[in-house]
C-alpha cells in the first residue's frame, strides 16, 4: 500500500468516526422541546467541520462523489427551488436560517455516501443510542415524569427515531452470527419498541408498520434460499412484539370512547394512561385537519414558488381560520412535511423532493436483483424500509424538520447512494443511473479557489451555528429564572440571548412575559413593537400589545391593537373578549355586546363573555337575557363564585323577584 493510500484511508476513517460520533452524541443530548435548537447546533457544527476537513484534505474525492452520484440533479433542483423561494419570503433571516439547515443535511448526505463500508458500525451506534434513549425514557416515568421526552424533547420525536432504528436493528439481528449478540440485539429491540408504544406517536406507528410490511415482503421475495431461516428468527422476534402490543393496548384502554382523555388524578386509570394528563385521542387529528385546511389556502395563493423556506409560521397566521379553540398555540409546522415543502418552496420543490426518493428507491430495488451476498441484500432492504418509516410518518408529522430523524434520514440515504455507486454489480444493470451519473460530469472538479471559497462559506455557517448555540444556553438560563419567578434576572439573561439572536420568537415571548409579570408596560410595548416588526401577522403579539396599552390606560391604542388582532385572526377569542370589556367600561354597551357574542371558545373566555353580557343586559333592564347569560356562564364554570353572586344580584333586581 502506497503512502498516498495510507493517507487517504486515514482521512476516510476520520470522516467515518466523525459521523459515528455525531450519530451517538446528537440523540443523547438531553434538552426539552423548547431547546431543540441545541441539537441542531451541534449537528450543524459537526457536519460543517467534517465537510471542511474533507474538502481540505480530499477535495478530489469530495467533488467526485458529487459528480458520480445519480441523485445530484434532484438535490440541485431542490436547492434551487429553496433559493428561488427566498425571493418571496417575508423574513429573509428566517429563510437563510432554514437554508443553512438544508445545506448541512445535503453535506451530510454526501459525506455519508463516502463511508458506506462502515454500515455495520453505524447500525450498532444507532441501536445503542436508541436503546439508551428508551431506557432514559422509562427512568423518567419511574421518577415521576408524566410526559416522556427522554433526550429528544417530545414523545413524537422519540417515536420517529425509534421507528427508523427498529428496522435497522432487525437487519443487524438477521446478519449477526453470534447467538449471544443476537439475544442482546433482540432485548434492545423489545425495549425500543415498548417505549415507542408508550409515546402514543400514531404517525410513527403507522410509518413503522408500513416499513415493516415492506421489509418482510422484500426479505421474503429477495431471499428465497433463506426463507426457512428468516421465518425461524423473525417469527420469534415478531411474536414478542405482538405480545408487547397486546399487553400495551389492554393496559392503556386505547380503544375506548371517542373523546376519552387520560387524567392523571383519576383512580380508575391504568398505569399507561397515567402517562399523559388531559390528552384527547381525537384532538391531535382535529388540529391537524384544521392546520391542513389553512395550509392548503396558503398553497393555492403561492402555488409555484411558495412563501419562502423558514417562513411557514410567519405566513400561516395570515391564513389561520380553523383553530378557533386553540388560538394561542403557535403553529410553526404543517404537521405534514409534503404540504409544508409545497407551501414554502412551491410545487417545483415538492416535485424535486419526491423525485429524489422515488429514484433512490427505484435504483435500490433494481440493484437488489443483482446483489449475490445475502447480508448485503438484508442491509440494503433495511436501509430502504427505515427511510420508508419516516416518509410515511411525515404525512402526519414533521420528521424532515426534526434534527434526529432528519439526520438519520439523510445519513441512511447517503449510505444507500454510496453503496449503489460503489457496488460493481450495480453499474451494468441500471443504464438510467449511469446516464444520470455521466450527465453530472459537467460538474468538473473546480479549481482550488472554488474549494477555498466553499471552505470560507462553511466556516461562516459554523460560526453562525456556534452563535445559535450560545443563544440557546442564555435562553435556558432565562427560562429557569422565569420559572423561579426571578423575572428581573430572566430579562437580563434574555437580553444576552437577544443580542446574539434577535430573530428568535421564543426569546421575544419570554421577554414580553417577564415585562408583563413585572407590570413594566412601557418596556413590554417596546419589545412587542419590535416583535411585530419581525412578525407583523402574529395575532398573539397584537393581543399582548393591546393588553399592555390597556393596563397603561391607553384605551384608544388598546382598541386599535385588538382590532388588528381580530382582523388577522377573526376567530381568536381573547381580543374580542378584551374589546368587550373596554367597551363595557366606556359604557358603549351595544359595541360590547357585538364583540362578546363573537367569543366562541375556549370555555373559560366564553364563560367570562357570558357573565359580562349578563351584567350589560341587567343594566339595560333586559332581565330575561341577563338571567339567561348568567346561567350559561355558571353552566360553564360552576365553581366560580363571582358568577353565582352576579346571578343572585340580577335575580334580586328583576321584576319577577319583586312580585
Is 236 buried (19+), middle (13-18) or exposed (0-12) by CB count in 10 A? exposed
**Closest of 277, 388, 400 to residue 349, by C-alpha:** 400
CA distance 243 to 197: 12
Give the residues across from 279 on adjacent strands.
Answer: 262
pLDDT tens-digit series, residues 278-328: 334 456 777 888 889 989 999 999 999 999 999 998 888 778 776 544 555
Give the pLDDT of residue 248: 77
The pLDDT of residue 283 is 62
**Mean pLDDT (10-residue bins), the chain, 659 residues:** 73 91 90 74 94 89 86 94 92 90 95 92 95 91 77 88 95 90 93 89 91 91 76 80 82 46 35 35 72 92 93 84 58 91 96 96 88 88 96 93 94 92 50 49 61 88 91 91 93 92 86 93 94 85 93 93 89 90 92 91 84 92 91 90 89 71
- Tell me the C-alpha distance between 142 and 148, whole Å: 10
Q: Where are the domains of the chain?
A: 69-445
User: Look-up: residue for cell 407590570?
Assistant: 519
Angle, vertex CA 32, rays to CA 31 and CA 37, nearest 5: 70
Predicted model pTM? 0.85
pLDDT confidence of residue 445:
54
Helix (H), strand (E), coil (C) string for 448-516: HHHHHHHHHHHHHHHHHHHHHHHHHHHHHHHHHHHHCCCHHHHHHHHHHHHHHCCCCHHHHHHHHHHHH
- Taking phi over 0 as left and psi of -120 to 50 as alpha, with beta for the rest, 330 belongs to beta
pLDDT for position 323: 57
Q: Which three cell numbers stand for residue 634?
A: 355558571
Are 490 and 506 contacting, i.e. CB atoms less than 8 angstroms apart?
no
How far is Cα of residue 86 from the mean position of the Cα atoms in its chain?
Answer: 21
How many Å apart are CA 12 and CA 27, to the nearest integer? 23
Residue 548: Cβ within 10 Å count: 27
- Residue 587 CB: number of other CB atoms within 10 A? 10
Which grid cell is 609? 363573555
Distances (CA, A) of 326 to 284, 317, 605: 11, 13, 12
Q: Note whether 60 and 451 are within 8 A (CB).
A: no
Bridge partners of residue 262, in order along the sequence: 279
Q: What whole-number distance in Å separates Cα of residue 180 and Cα of residue 182? A: 5
- Three-state SS sequence of 362-408: HHHHHHHCCCCCHHHHHHHHHHHHHHHHHHHHCCCCCHHHCHHHHHH
* 473 torsion bin: left (phi>0), alpha (psi -120 to 50), beta (else): alpha
Amino acid at each position: 500500500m502506497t503512502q498516498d493510500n495510507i493517507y487517504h484511508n486515514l482521512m476516510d476513517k476520520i470522516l467515518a468516526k466523525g459521523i459515528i460520533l455525531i450519530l451517538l452524541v446528537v440523540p443523547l443530548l438531553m434538552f426539552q422541546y423548547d431547546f431543540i435548537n441545541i441539537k441542531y447546533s451541534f449537528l450543524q457544527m459537526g457536519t460543517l467541520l467534517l465537510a471542511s476537513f474533507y474538502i481540505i484534505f480530499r477535495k478530489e474525492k469530495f467533488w467526485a462523489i458529487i459528480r458520480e452520484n445519480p441523485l445530484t440533479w434532484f438535490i440541485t433542483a431542490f436547492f434551487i427551488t429553496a433559493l428561488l423561494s427566498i425571493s418571496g419570503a417575508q423574513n429573509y433571516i428566517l429563510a437563510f436560517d432554514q437554508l443553512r439547515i438544508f445545506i448541512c443535511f445535503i453535506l451530510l448526505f454526501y459525506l455519508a455516501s463516502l463511508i458506506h463500508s462502515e454500515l455495520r458500525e453505524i447500525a450498532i451506534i444507532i441501536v445503542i443510542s436508541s436503546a439508551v434513549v428508551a431506557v432514559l425514557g422509562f427512568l423518567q416515568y419511574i421518577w415521576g415524569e408524566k410526559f416522556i421526552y427522554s433526550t429528544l424533547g417530545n414523545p413524537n420525536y422519540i417515536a420517529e427515531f425509534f421507528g427508523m432504528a427498529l428496522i435497522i436493528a432487525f437487519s443487524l439481528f438477521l446478519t449477526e452470527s453470534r447467538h449471544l449478540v443476537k439475544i442482546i440485539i433482540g432485548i434492545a429491540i423489545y425495549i425500543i419498541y415498548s417505549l415507542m408504544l408508550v409515546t402514543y406517536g400514531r404517525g410513527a406507528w403507522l410509518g413503522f408498520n408500513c416499513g415493516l410490511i415492506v421489509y418482510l415482503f422484500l426479505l421474503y421475495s429477495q431471499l428465497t434460499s433463506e426463507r426457512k431461516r428468516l421465518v425461524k428468527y423473525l417469527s420469534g422476534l415478531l411474536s414478542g412484539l405482538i405480545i408487547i402490543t397486546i399487553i400495551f393496548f389492554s393496559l392503556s384502554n386505547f380503544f375506548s370512547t371517542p373523546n376519552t382523555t387520560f387524567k392523571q388524578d383519576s383512580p380508575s386509570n391504568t398505569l399507561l394512561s397515567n402517562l399523559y394528563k388531559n390528552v384527547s385521542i381525537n384532538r391531535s387529528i382535529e388540529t391537524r385537519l384544521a392546520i391542513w385546511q389553512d395550509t392548503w389556502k396558503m398553497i393555492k395563493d403561492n402555488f409555484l414558488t411558495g412563501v419562502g423556506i423558514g417562513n411557514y409560521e410567519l405566513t400561516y397566521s395570515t391564513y389561520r381560520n380553523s383553530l378557533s379553540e386553540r388560538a394561542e398555540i403557535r403553529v410553526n409546522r404543517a404537521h405534514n412535511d409534503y404540504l409544508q415543502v409545497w407551501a414554502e418552496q412551491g410545487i417545483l420543490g415538492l416535485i424535486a423532493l419526491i423525485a429524489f426518493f422515488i429514484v433512490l428507491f427505484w435504483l435500490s430495488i433494481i440493484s437488489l436483483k443483482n446483489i449475490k451476498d445475502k447480508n448485503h441484500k438484508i442491509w440494503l432492504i433495511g436501509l430502504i424500509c427505515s427511510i420508508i418509516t419516516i416518509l410515511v410518518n411525515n404525512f402526519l408529522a414533521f420528521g424532515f424538520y426534526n434534527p434526529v430523524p432528519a439526520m438519520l434520514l439523510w445519513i441512511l440515504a447517503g449510505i444507500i447512494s454510496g453503496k449503489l455507486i460503489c457496488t460493481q454489480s450495480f453499474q451494468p444493470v441500471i443504464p438510467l443511473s449511469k446516464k444520470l451519473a455521466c450527465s453530472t460530469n459537467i460538474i468538473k472538479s473546480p479549481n482550488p479557489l472554488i474549494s477555498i471559497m466553499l471552505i470560507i462559506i462553511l466556516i461562516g455557517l459554523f460560526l453562525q451555528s456556534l452563535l445559535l448555540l450560545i443563544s440557546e444556553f442564555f435562553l435556558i438560563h432565562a427560562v429557569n429564572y422565569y420559572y423561579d419567578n426571578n423575572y428581573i434576572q430572566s430579562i437580563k439573561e434574555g437580553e444576552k440571548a437577544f443580542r446574539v439572536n434577535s430573530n428568535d420568537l421564543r426569546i421575544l415571548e419570554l421577554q414580553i412575559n417577564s415585562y408583563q409579570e413585572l407590570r413594566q408596560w412601557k418596556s413590554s410595548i417596546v419589545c412587542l413593537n419590535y416583535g411585530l416588526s419581525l412578525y407583523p401577522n402574529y395575532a398573539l403579539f397584537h393581543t399582548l400589545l393591546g393588553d399592555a396599552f390597556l393596563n397603561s390606560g391607553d384605551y384608544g391604542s388598546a382598541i386599535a391593537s385588538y382590532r388588528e388582532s381580530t382582523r388577522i385572526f377573526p376567530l381568536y377569542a381573547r381580543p374580542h373578549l378584551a374589546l368587550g370589556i373596554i367597551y363595557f367600561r366606556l359604557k358603549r354597551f351595544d359595541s360590547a355586546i357585538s364583540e362578546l357574542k363573537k367569543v366562541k371558545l375556549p370555555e373559560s373566555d366564553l364563560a367570562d363573555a357570558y357573565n359580562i353580557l349578563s351584567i350589560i343586559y341587567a343594566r339595560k333592564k333586559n332581565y330575561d337575557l341577563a338571567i339567561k347569560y348568567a346561567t350559561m356562564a355558571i353552566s360553564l364554570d360552576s365553581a366560580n363564585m363571582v358568577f353565582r353572586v352576579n346571578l343572585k344580584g340580577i335575580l334580586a333586581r328583576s321584576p319577577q323577584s319583586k312580585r
